[in-house]
Structure 1
Amino acid sequence: MVMIDNAVYVAGVRVASPLGIDQTLPALESHPDGFAWMGLYRPDSAELHALATDFGVHELIVEDASQGHQRPKFERYGETTLTVLRSARYVDAEERVDFGEVHVITGPRTAIVIRHSEAPNFAETRRGLEAEPARLAEGPQAVLFAVLDEIVDGYEPVLAGLENDIDEIEDALFSGGHEQSQRIYELSREVIAFQRAATPLPGMLVSMAARLPADAIEQRRALRDVGDHVTRVIERASAYRSLLENALTVNAALVGQRQNDETRILTEASLRQSEEMKKISSWAAIIFAPSLIGSVYGMNFHNMPELSWEWGYPFSIALMVGFAGLLYGIFKKKHWL
């Protein structure tokens, strides 16, 4: 486990920075009006069980936080809540979306933020809250809302990157580049994964708002602001999914059209070759008949009937021309010539 940051706050001001989890509880006990905010990176099961022992975290929360790969959810276990969020960032160099997972465990006096991915880094979130002691004085709930807001704000650059990728695909589709099926499918998977990360959030926000006291006006406003962002994110993701589905349909149609064109060209070439073969075969047959007759009369046998016949030569020539003319007429009638 990596301890990213660990602090105890009283009235929104950092009063202690324990170096380890084992030092957090004594520091918290020495400040009865404060709360602890711990930032952890990929803790293992044993470390989470130690946290559960020190801070009374429910064993089901420990199980979920240990396994990772959880769906976004907001669950309550007595006075402790578990919020699972899916973060996302657009990797511009690789033109892909990298998804992460964040677990936020909040109790009456503790906020434990567990990251299972490289991003996001909540250092800026902590510094922002520390710069506003009034917000941080609201306790662990303020940490949860700030982390939630940071993750939702991180969705905007992802949507911008996806929009740019979709524009590139549309340009490629209508500029002659039809081989885009794999890229469209990959983008569709990313958009679907993005929808799975964002779609559960409105229901989670409603559950969070239901747990707030009636006078928590500012916190309700913060949740409504996050809810507005989430709504826009979900609408844009749905529009992107529709665009990609349409692009896949158009790509399939264009690829099918190109295959049909290629088939038509091949068929026409085959027909032309067939016509040429008909002509060659017809002329070969026409030439074959005189050759056959000429070869018979060129045998020079003494007992050949026409050998001493006065009309033998004209007869053989007439026979050759007659056979050739007959075959020519037949082939011409069949449109082979």
Structure 2
Amino acid sequence: MMTLIDNGVYVDGLRTATPENLQQTSEVMRSGGGMAWIGLYRPSPEEVRSVAEQFELHPLAVEDALTGHQRSKLERYGDTLFVVLRPARYVDEHEEVEFGELHLFVGPDFVVTIRHAEAPDLRRVRRRLEASPELLAMGPEAVLYAVLDEVVDEYGPVVAGLENDIDEIEDQLFSGVEGVSRRIYELAREVLDFQRAAQPLVGMLEGLARGSDKYGVDVELRRSLRDVLDHALRIVERAGAFRAILDNALQVEATLVAQRQNEEMRRMTELNLAQNEEIKKISSWAAILFAPTLIGTVYGMNFDVMPELHWSLGYPFALLLMLGMSAALYGVFKLRRWL
């Protein structure tokens, strides 16, 4: 069963029929004319090919629709426009941007929308147009305008969410919060993806404006498209500013990390110096104490034949020798500032 969300036929901006399948849509249009607006949600390749056969869509456009993961673009195949949009929404609970993909085939008397994500809410777009028959009466271009307007409007909360995340990062930057570098990098990647989604809209809307005269687009619809273009330009500028801020934040964070590393190295160096001083003192006293021990050890040997063994001044001489050597070593170490 085809993933058909809505299927309507409109005449002069009013809904005249709601066919149950594509065959009925063709029959209704043959008998009464009008414009068909078909909405599909995550259709299978077979369903896309069925729609392509029904409306004689260009094979290259169909191939792009089947492949998916396209960047935002607008291409014309004869009298049919193929439009790829990258809607986005900000997920508060995860503090991240979720991107979708929307394909539109806009022909002389039909519009086919293929949605691959929850955003944008095309039911809201349809309700809005059905509540404004005079706008819907302008034909498929009015549907394209309304979808573009909805996508750009849904970029607004994304910009607000990203701005809030950037404010939080600026607060964390100088507070030493762990993991701030990773969060800056992830946010910068989201901003870059958002730029890639929004930036092409400017060129697409400018191209639609340039072709308005050639394809006889209503004057009021042209004004509406220019309004959407203004909103898209502001969003792209904000995204560019976000990227510059995050680039600066990464540089600042790298500088702060380097400073913290330098401080840690300086502290460790001071600690090592202090330890070296202590080692010098311990080594010096060990050497001073070693000299008397050496002399005492030599004269403590139990041999009968030793020099000065029976000398009456041997004992005071040994004590003076110990004291002299200790004093000499103390003087040397003191001179070298080991003590």
Q: With structure 1 as the length reference, what TM-score do the two structures score?
A: 0.97
Deviations 1:226-282 (A, max 9, x none): 010011001100000000001101111111111111111111111111110110010
Quote the residue 2:326 is aligned against: 324
Task: Tell me if structure 2 keeps the 8 A contact 1:45–1:62.
Answer: no
Which residue matches 1:25?
Answer: 26
For residue 212 of structure 1, report the CA deviation from its aligned partner. Answer: 2.1
Matched, 1:141 2:156: no
Q: Which runs of 4+ in 1 moved over 6 A?
A: none
Contact kept? 1:101, 1:116, Cα under 8 Å: yes
Is 2:7 the counterpart of 1:6?
Answer: yes
1:269-299 Cα shifts (integer Å, max 9, x gaps): 1111111011001000000000110111222
Q: Secondary structure, in 3 states, of the residue corresponding to 2:19?
A: coil
Distance 2:301 2:86 in 1: 97
- 8 Å contact kept, 1:82–1:106: yes
User: Alpha-carbon deviation of 1:124?
Assistant: 0.8
Moved more, 148-157 or 36-45: 36-45
Q: How many Å separate the matches in 1 of 2:320 and 2:171?
A: 71
Question: Shift of the alpha carbon at 1:211?
Answer: 2.6
Distance 2:211 2:29 in 1: 24
1:173 maps to: 173
CA contact (8 A) 1:84 1:102 kept: yes
User: What does residue 188 of structure 2 align with?
Assistant: 188
**Contact residue 209 and residue 226 of structure 2 kept, 8 A:** no
Judging changes above 3 Å, is the alpha-carbon distance between structure 1 residues 105 and 13 closer, same or farther for their aligned structure 2 residues?
same
User: Hey, what's the Cα distance between the residues in 2 that align with 1:31 and 1:336?
Assistant: 107
- 5+ long unaligned stretches in structure 1: none
Which stretch has the larger CA shift, 274-283 or 212-221? 212-221
CA distance in 1, matches of 2:66, 2:186: 29
1:280 to 266, 276, 282: 282
**Rounded Cα–Cα distance in structure 1 between residues aligned with 2:105 and 2:166:** 37
Q: Tell me how far apart the structure 1 counterparts of residues 217 and 192 of structure 2 sit (CA, whole Å).
A: 38
Residue pair 1:43, 1:66 contacting (<8 A) in 2 also: no
Q: 1:163 to 1:331 in 2, by over 3 A?
A: same
Is contact 2:138-2:218 (8 Å) kept? Answer: no
Partners of 1:199 and 1:25 lie apart in 2 by 37
The answer to whether the Cα contact below 8 Å between 1:89 and 1:158 also exists between their aligned partners in 2 is: yes
TM-score normalised by L of structure 2 = 0.96
Q: Distance in 1 between matches of 2:277 and 2:152?
A: 68
Count of residues paired in the alignment? 336
Once residues 215 and 328 of structure 1 are traced to their aligned partners in structure 2, the CA distance between those partners, rounded to angstroms, is: 102
Q: Give aligned-pair identity as a percent.
A: 59
> Counterpart amino acid of 2:229?
G
Q: What secondary structure sits across from 2:102 in the alignment?
A: strand
Kindly report which structure 2 residues correspond to 1:121-132, keeping only aligned pairs within 5 A, or say none: 121-132=121-132
1:61-118 C-alpha deviation (Å, 9 max, x unpaired): 1111111111111111111111111100001100100011111111111001111112
> Bigger CA drift: 1-10 or 204-213?
204-213
Give a deviation string over 1:283-329, Cα, whole Å, max 9, x none.
00000000110111222433222121111111000100011011111
Superposed CA RMSD: 1.2
Residues 1:159 and 2:163 are matched in the alignment? no
Q: Structure 2 stretches of 5 or more lacking a match?
A: none
CA distance in 2, matches of 1:3, 1:211: 31
Whole-angstrom CA distance in 2 between matches of 1:303 and 1:58: 119
1:28–1:35 CA contact under 8 A, matched in 2? yes
Are 1:253 and 2:255 counterparts? yes
Q: Is 1:65 aligned to residue 94 of structure 2?
A: no
